[in-house]
Amino acid sequence: MQETISENRMPLIGDPAPAFKAVTTQGEINFPGDFKGKWVILFSHPADFTPVCTTEFMTFASMAEEFKAMNTELVGLSVDSLYSHIAWLRKIQELEWKDKKNIEVRFPLIEDIRMEAANKYGMIQPGQSNTQAVRAVFVIDPQGKIRLILYYPLSTGRNFDEIKRVIQALQKADADSVATPADWRPGDDVIVPTAGSCGTAKERMENQSDDQYCLDWFICFRREKK
């Protein structure tokens, strides 16, 4: 039986992603049930036809196939209407920014006029605005659990390389039961679980190899094959 999140608090890392049904630019969705077995990036933006949001959607859409290759789907949300969403996404196709042009947004953009989904995810923060969602990012795993939460203020566009990197890092950690060090990128060495006994700690320090090395008993790395 799935756990439930109190309506009075924001969901936290490790919580089940709050469920909702919504109308989107790609039809109705049942979230997160429709995405079972996939990673999902659920992200909110303050408003349609705003400059920072426009650059973000152009970037997300240009990276959609990269995310799809990582078994990751994109789902956007704002408190604007479906018709506003449609008009804005059509306008985005006419714009050119940096190396991005003729950008078609094919991932769903949620209509959330009543702020039901936004409130479930703590996307409406009165210190920023009572009528707009902040720039929130929720990474949800194939089992429907929240694995990462990022919040940006209204004035600051997101770092999309970092969003992609954390998906890669989470998938690596899950697949190999490891942790990833600061600034980790695919192919970099990974951290193996900390020794759980004095004997294991001593053995690791005395028996280092080409595949594994330790800086000290509590921080050991495994070399990744290039």
- Which pLDDT value is given to residue 93? 97
Average pLDDT, the chain: 89
Binding site annotation covers 135?
A: yes
Where are the CATH 3.40.30.10 domain residues in the chain? 20-158
Where are the CATH 3.30.1020.10 domain residues in the chain? 177-226
- Which pLDDT value is given to residue 129? 54
- Which pLDDT value is given to residue 96? 96
Domain at 177-226, CATH from 3.30.565.10, 3.40.50.300, 3.30.1020.10, 1.10.12.10: 3.30.1020.10
- Which pLDDT value is given to residue 118? 87
Q: Which contiguous run of DSSP H or E holds residue 28?
A: strand 27-31
- Which pLDDT value is given to residue 196? 63
Other C-beta atoms closer than 10 Å to the C-beta of 172 total 18
Which class would CATH give 20-158?
Answer: alpha beta
Other C-beta atoms closer than 10 Å to the C-beta of 46 total 21
Q: How far apart are the first and last CA of the chain?
A: 42
Q: How far apart are CA 128 and CA 120, in angstroms?
A: 17
- Which pLDDT value is given to residue 199? 67
Higher per-residue pLDDT: 85 or 123: 85
220 annotated active-site: no
Closest CA to 173 of 141, 209, 200: 141
Q: Is 89 left (phi over 0), alpha (psi -120 to 50) or beta?
A: alpha
Spell out where 82-155 has E strands: 96-97, 100-101, 109-111, 135-140, 146-152
**pLDDT higher than 60, residue 181:** yes
> pLDDT digits over 32-80, tens only?
999 999 999 999 988 899 999 999 999 999 999 999 999 999 999 988 8
- Which pLDDT value is given to residue 163? 97
Summarize the confidence of residues 10-29 as an average pLDDT: 96
Higher per-residue pLDDT: 181 or 128: 181
Q: Which residues contact 82 (CB under 8 A, 6 or more apart)?
A: 23, 24, 25, 111
- Which pLDDT value is given to residue 48? 93
Q: Which contiguous run of DSSP H or E holds residue 62?
A: helix 51-62
Residue 207: both structure tokens together: 């028996």
- Which pLDDT value is given to residue 89? 97
- Which pLDDT value is given to residue 30? 97
